Every structure is written in C-alpha cells, then in structure tokens.
Structure 1
Amino acid sequence: MRAFENYSNNASGPITILPYVNIAHYKHMHEAICNLAQDKIVPLIIIPFHENDHVDLGGHVAKSIQKLNTRFQSRAVCTVGILVDRDSKLGGDDSMMIFHVGIFFIGGQDDREALALGIRMANRENVRVSLFRFVVTNINDKDDYNGRFKSREEEEEEEIEEMLNESLIDEFKSMKFGSGNVSWYEIMVADGEEILDTIRKLEGNYDLVMVGRRHNIGNLNDEELTTFIENAETLGIFGDMLASTEFCIGMVPVLVTQCGGNLDTEHKFSRVGSATVSQKSLDI
C-alpha cells in the first residue's frame, strides 16, 4: 500500500488511493469486489495470478485463488487483468528510468483492452510501448466455423471487429507523430502455432508485456494448441506462453486482459456482499 501511496503523491495527474479490506470466503470474495467496482464505476480490476511465488501460498490457497480468478473473469462487468509477476526486478530510485511495455495483438476485444491500456501508458514520457500485431493469413470461410460456411450475420460481426481493431491501431500509430516512444510491427503468420513460434523469438528488455486472453480468430482456438498448456483457461494460449520460461525465461511480468460486460442473466450480481467491504485509512 505504501507503493500505491507513493504513486499517488508523485503522479503528474490527480490520483487518489482508497484502500479497502474485504473479509470473505474465497468462494464469495469476487461478489463484494465486483459490486464495489460497479458502484464506483471502476474500468479495470487487476488481480494476481495464483502461481505468483513471492509468497509460498501452499497448494490449497493457490487453488482457491485460481478459482477466484476464474469467477472474476466470468462475472466482472469491467475489464479484468490477471498479473503474472513471479520474479520481476522492477523498482529503483531513478525517476527518469525508461519503462518498456510490449503488447502482442492478434485481434478481438480482449486485445483491444490491452492496446487501449498501452495507449494510456504511452502518454507518460518515461514509458516506451512496442506493439507487435500478428496478421493471420491462413483463414478461409470454413475453417473458423467447424467446417461450415459463415452466415451473413457472422461475416458482418467479423467486419465490425476488424474495423474496431484497425481504428484502435490507427490511434496508436498516430501517437508516433507526437512522441518517439511508440513503435509497431506487423508480422505475417499462417496460424496459431506460427504465432507461438514468433513470440518466442521476440524476447527483449521488457518491463511488462500485455496480451488479451481471447482472440476473434477461430482457428487460433484449436484444441491441439491447448493440449500441453497448463493455464490456457485462465491466461489464454498466448498469455500462458508469455508467462512461461519459454519467453524471457519467465522473468517478465505479464498482464492478461479480458473485456467484461458480456454477462448472462444467471451471472448478474447479487447485491449481497458489498457490506463486507469497508474502506480503511492508510497510515504511512
């Protein structure tokens, strides 16, 4: 909490830190937090990955946090970010240090959330943002829909998704004219396996990498890709790879974003639980 307080005191813009204490069983903890986020119109919830090993949680607690993260992803109306931070070396007293963020963009609303966050980060002078956009070429009208042709509605949805992708990417590119701290690369790939192989070769001196959990290209969700991926359900195929030792030997923090708001009726919040969250003053 001292780190948050220091950030509040030294930020260039208006930042207010409001610490809260939530006393609840793991099974119900997400309800109180999601209710609070809804009440305060919070756009982003960041939660820790269950395998972050700064503290030895033990098998039972780690499993409870894993289930808690899944509940956040299924219930939150705002964007949820899962932060994988096993062994980062962030910190230091040099306020002019360059913070390098890498964004891996395949397409879809989750990737757009990661890119939108990167655009906000790039507004800070000491932040450098690199965008790696993958363009998948091996797609036809049948492969993405289990052997059947796409309907007109599905084609229109894809066109809208592509338009939204291009619009946000254009916004990111336009920042180049205002400052030199952004760069982007378009990488042509044939399929999901080629994306994984390419990501492995894009190792760099990153302080943080971001990627969406889900993507809007059907053949990237091939079950064969997830066979040997332990945390694909929570982090997605590419988030899991970025968080593994196959990328920068697992030393770079990874933020996996998921766009919220697509709730089924059965997932609507129960208003119980808000009372278990109370604001707490912070003594420094």
Structure 2
Amino acid sequence: MELTERSSAILMVHKARKNGLPFWNKRQQSDGDQIVVAFEAFQQLSRVSIRPMTAISAMLDIHEDICSCAERKRAAMIILPFHKHQRFDGTLETTRTEFRLVNRRVLEHAPCSVGILVDRGLGGSTHVSARNFSSEITVLFFGGRDDHEAVSYGLRMSEHPGINLTIVQFLAISDIPGDVVSINVNYISNTLVGSSDETFVAEIKQKISNNSSIKFEEKAIQSAAEIVDVVRLFSRCNLFVVGRMQEGQVTGALNMKGDCPELGPVGNLLTSPDFSTSASVLVVQQYNEQKNLNKVSSKVVVLSEEDSETE
C-alpha cells in the first residue's frame, strides 16, 4: 500500500479474532481483505503460522521496507506479485508500472531468495479445503543456482499430499545455435557449475526415489524449437516454477530477451503471448550472500594514519 508525503512505513498487525471468524468486512470487501481471508483459512486448515500485516510506505522506498521486514523476520523467501495481470482473453495487461521498479529493487537488495508470481489463478473461484486441494506443479531445470532454488522450493511444496510435482531437466546432446548464457556467480567457472548441477541432480534423484507423487524427467534437446515444444507438453499444469537466470547453452538457445528481464529468459517464454497456457508462473532468484558482501565491502572507506592525523 502506497503512502504519500511520508517516508517511514506504518506496520499494522491484524489482531487475532477470538471467535475464530476471519478478518472480513462483507459490505466493503477489498482485494486486501480477500488475501487476509485466504491466508487465515490456510492457517486454520493447514496448521501453519500466519501473521498478516499491512505496510504503508512511500513508493520510492517500499523496497527498503520489504527487505528490512524480511531481514527482521529472517524470511527464507520474499514472494512479490508481477506488475501485469491476466485479462479475460488470457493476455497479460500492465496495471501498475511502478510495481515493476519495486520488484527490480527487491531482487537487487533482498536479504533472502525472491520469487515473482505471475498469477493466472490456481484454483478458479471455487474454494476447497486444504485437505481436498490438488495441484500439478512443474519445475523446469536447466542449470545454475536459481534453478537449484526452484527445484528446492518445488520439493518443499510437494510435501503437501495434494501436490503432484514434475521436475523436467533439459540436456543438450549437441551444439545448439544461439548465444551461451553466462552468469557471473562468485566467479565460478562454467565447468564447476556443471559439476555442481550433476551433484545436485544426483542428490534430488536419491531423495525422491520412493516418492510416487514426484516425477523426474530428462529431455534431450537438439534445437531451440525443441525446448519450446517440450515446455508446451506441460502447459496444462497449474503452476510452473522456474529459476530467474539459468546457466548453459540450453537456455541461451532460447534467445528470449523479452520485455521483462526480471523474469529471465524462461519466465519471459512462459508469459509470452505466443505461448498458450493457463498456468501461473513463479520465477525464483536464489539469495547470493557473496554478492551482498561485495556490496557492503565496496562501501567501506579505509582511512590511512596520515588521513586520521590530518583530521
């Protein structure tokens, strides 16, 4: 919620209702009320702890309040809404352009992992209990730390008995035309990243070997067109979970620059008007501790003894 002409944030914690009824004004129901109701229902049915809060901030520093709140709460992930919303015809329409800048700033300064949710609905208008809930989730794995985070988050979601999870790993079996995506992650070489992917995948396969609700599929890719064709095979799922920035030639072959770099190449593909799907998309960026340390160290000014004496 935006606050004008004031820089400090106001946090309002919704008081717990002793009668068990949700925080809801039927006469003046807002989107915020619906969100609170949904989380409170989830809390009661799923035995998790929910603490709804409303933060009122100036638009210029909303990202600072989000990041500081996440740091105080020691949050593992911040999930932000995408600045576009789905229209009745299925296309995405920009509703608040200023939220796009907020998302980019949070991605840059967050003290934890960040997810951007492109909401196309997960269950329609019909409300079902958490016990009867069922959903198909697909994680697209190309490689790199963000994809590792996407798989880990998908596995966490699959702990719900109503979730069926499919992890799809894309493998290049020949040279694919296109620019190679190279992300500088703590100066780790692509060779080390590749070996890290192999170790990660081996651990995941061992972990899910006895879980019938989780499938792991490997898809060999020879061209960029095949990548899109494979993704289309899973377009009927309820939710795609993807990393923001992948590494390797497979992703580079997509050459999906798009108009939303905050979603990354795969996120841009899944939200493209040329790609037909009703699935929501969660784009995940893993927290990079070294990156934040570099930012802090770059701001440190070291004074010599001569400078100190001069002062």
Does the alignment reach a TM-score above 0.5? Answer: yes
Once the two structures are TM-superposed, the CA of residue 70 in structure 1 deviates from its matched residue by 0.8
Unaligned runs of 5+ in 2: 1-35, 300-311
Q: What SS is found at the alignment partner of 1:211?
A: strand
What TM-score, normalized to structure 1? 0.76
Once the two structures are TM-superposed, the CA of residue 235 in structure 1 deviates from its matched residue by 0.8
Q: Encode CA deviations 1:59-94: one digit per residue, 9 max, x unaligned.
A: 6x6110111111111111211100001355445325
Q: 1:78 to 1:129 in 2, by over 3 A?
A: same
What residue is the counterpart of 1:171 in the other structure? Answer: 203
Q: 1:176 to 1:129 in 2, by over 3 A?
A: same
Residues 1:253 and 2:280 aligned together: yes
Once the two structures are TM-superposed, the CA of residue 24 in structure 1 deviates from its matched residue by 1.5
What residue is the counterpart of 2:168 in the other structure? Answer: 132
Q: Encode CA deviations 1:160-219: one digit per residue, 9 max, x unaligned.
A: 322332333233323444321011111111354542343234333x12111111011157
Q: 1:179 to 1:96 in 2, by over 3 A?
A: farther
- Kept in 1, the 8 Å contact 2:181–2:252? The answer is no
Identity %: 25
Inter-partner Cα distance in structure 2 for 1:129 and 1:18: 28
Residues 1:230 and 2:259 aligned together: yes
Q: Which amino acid aligns with 1:37?
A: A
Among 59, 64, 72, the residue aligned to 1:26: 59
Q: What SS is found at the alignment partner of 1:230?
A: coil
Comparing both structures, which one devotes a greater share of its residues to helix?
Answer: 1
- Kept in 1, the 8 Å contact 2:181–2:248? The answer is no
Inter-partner Cα distance in structure 2 for 1:145 and 1:92: 42
Q: 1:211 to 1:219 in 2, by over 3 A?
A: closer
Q: Which amino acid aligns with 2:285?
A: Q
- When structure 1 is superposed on structure 2, of 82-91 and 27-36 the one drifting more is 82-91
Q: 1:20 to 1:234 in 2, by over 3 A?
A: same
- Kept in 2, the 8 Å contact 1:100–1:127? The answer is yes
Q: Which amino acid aligns with 2:197?
A: N
Q: Which has the higher contact order (CA 8 A, sep 6+)?
A: 1
Q: What SS is found at the alignment partner of 2:211?
A: coil
Cα RMSD after superposing both structures: 3.1
What residue is the counterpart of 1:181 in the other structure? Answer: 213
Unaligned runs of 5+ in 1: 147-152, 270-284
Q: 1:145 to 1:202 in 2, by over 3 A?
A: closer
- Kept in 2, the 8 Å contact 1:193–1:225? The answer is no
Once the two structures are TM-superposed, the CA of residue 41 in structure 1 deviates from its matched residue by 1.2
What residue is the counterpart of 1:5 in the other structure? Answer: 40
Q: 1:220 to 1:177 in 2, by over 3 A?
A: closer
Inter-partner Cα distance in structure 2 for 1:37 and 1:145: 30
Runs ≥4 residues deviating over 4 A: 143-146, 266-269
Inter-partner Cα distance in structure 2 for 1:68 and 1:97: 32
What residue is the counterpart of 1:71 in the other structure? Answer: 105
Q: What SS is found at the alignment partner of 1:32?
A: helix
Once the two structures are TM-superposed, the CA of residue 268 in structure 1 deviates from its matched residue by 9.1
- Kept in 2, the 8 Å contact 1:48–1:83? The answer is yes
